[in-house]
Amino acid sequence: MLTDAAVIEDREEWATARDVQQGFMTLGRVAPGAVDYSAMCRQAHTLGGDSFDFLRLPDGRLLLTVGDASGKGLAAALMIAHVQSSVRTAALYAANDGAAMLRVVSRHVYDTSLVDRYATFFYGVLDAAGRTMRYVNAGHVPPMVLRRDGSVDWLETGGAPLGIFPDWPYEEGVVRLHPGDRILAYTDGVTEAENPSGEMWGFESLLRVASAHRARSADETVHAVFQALDEFTRGHQADDATVLVLGSRDHREARSRERRFSAPCTPTDSTWIHRALS
């Protein structure tokens, strides 16, 4: 039988693990006036398999990712941390070729993970000055591009989830962004959330809330989505849920600032990247 002290120690360890996982999810720093962006990841339990990340690359471009590992809890948290840190490190060496980079990461994940473990993953590199984003969608629910004229584009180009196959030839897509356009990325824990009657929230509800808050900041939009989601489910969350919003920054808000949950993750050993790309 566990003693009270052992129970408290166990809870403290799980809380520390949660803080470590949150440290992988950063809202970094970009140039003033470039973009307005925000994200929130809310796991169903203390630890979970969802993730997001923003990373400013050495050339000034912005890397953004959203991931969802199979399963839940500790195993999913370990899987997505493995994927996320691998992508972060690989991006420092091969950000200009997202398809080749994710092919290497997927092979690495396949070689080092259990047979039934994988992760869907969206990888994008935003050139704010050129208003373009190159991206690869590795089996993830397609992010939306909410156009200023009310139309919607879906970012589907890519390939299979990471870690399923030993070698997969990913494709890279390019999307042009115009003033007023917004990118909305999310995990299936958002669109597949159910109310007490068993009805799913769905893509239409997510799109409706995001569109209704087009004039608000990215941060306000993210929180509005979660508020609407909680009202629909009556506060019951069965799966990990993540929402990311990115768009043109209002010049009145054009100021540089750093926002993060915790310290950024530490890159993993990069030996396997050099070996795979050589």
- Distance set, CA 234 to CA 20, 39, 77, 194 (Å): 29, 22, 26, 9
CA distance 134 to 176: 9
Please count the other Cβ atoms lying within 10 Å of the Cβ belonging to residue 131. Answer: 15
pLDDT one-digit tens code per residue, 209-224: 999 998 899 999 999 9
More reliable by pLDDT, 244 or 24 = 244
Helix ranges, the chain (H): 4-23, 73-94, 98-112, 188-191, 202-212, 218-233, 271-277
Q: Can you tell me the distance from the alpha carbon of 218 to that of 224, in angstroms, rounded to the nearest whole number?
A: 10
- Quick: pLDDT tens for 82-107: 999 999 889 888 888 999 999 999 99
| 130 against 274, higher pLDDT | 130
Confidence at residue 174, expressed as pLDDT on a 0 to 100 scale: 97
pLDDT at 11: 67
* Contact predicate 110/79, CB 8 Å: no
Lay out the sheet containing 144-146: strands in order across. 35-42, 241-248, 182-186, 144-146, 152-154
Backbone phi, then psi, for 186, in 5-degree steps?
Answer: -165, 175
Each residue's pLDDT tens digit, 49-83: 999 999 988 888 999 999 999 988 888 999 999 99
**Opening angle at CA 217, ends 214 and 221, nearest 5:** 65
Instruction: Write out the two tokens for 1.
Output: 């039988």
Phi then psi dihedrals of residue 74, to 5 deg: -60, -45
Q: Sorting pLDDT into bands at 50, 70 and 90, what band is 22?
A: low
Burial class of 74 by CB neighbour count within 10 A (0 to 12, 13 to 18, 19+): middle
Give the global pTM. 0.83
Structure tokens, 162: 């990471």
- SS3 call for 150: coil
Read off the amino acid at residue 102.
L
User: C-alpha 148: how far from its chain's center?
Assistant: 23
The Cα 105–Cα 209 span in angstroms is 34
Q: How far apart (Å, rounded) are the C-alpha atoms in residues 245 and 38?
A: 6
Angle between helix 218-233 and helix 202-212 axes, rounded to 10 deg: 140
**115 pLDDT tier (thresholds 50, 70, 90):** confident
**What tokens does 174 get?**
């390019």
Cβ count within 10 A of residue 12: 10
Q: Give Cα separations from 240 to 70, 131, 212, 217, 228 (angstroms).
A: 11, 31, 24, 24, 16
Q: What is the pLDDT of residues 131-160, one digit of tens each?
A: 999 999 999 999 999 999 999 999 999 999
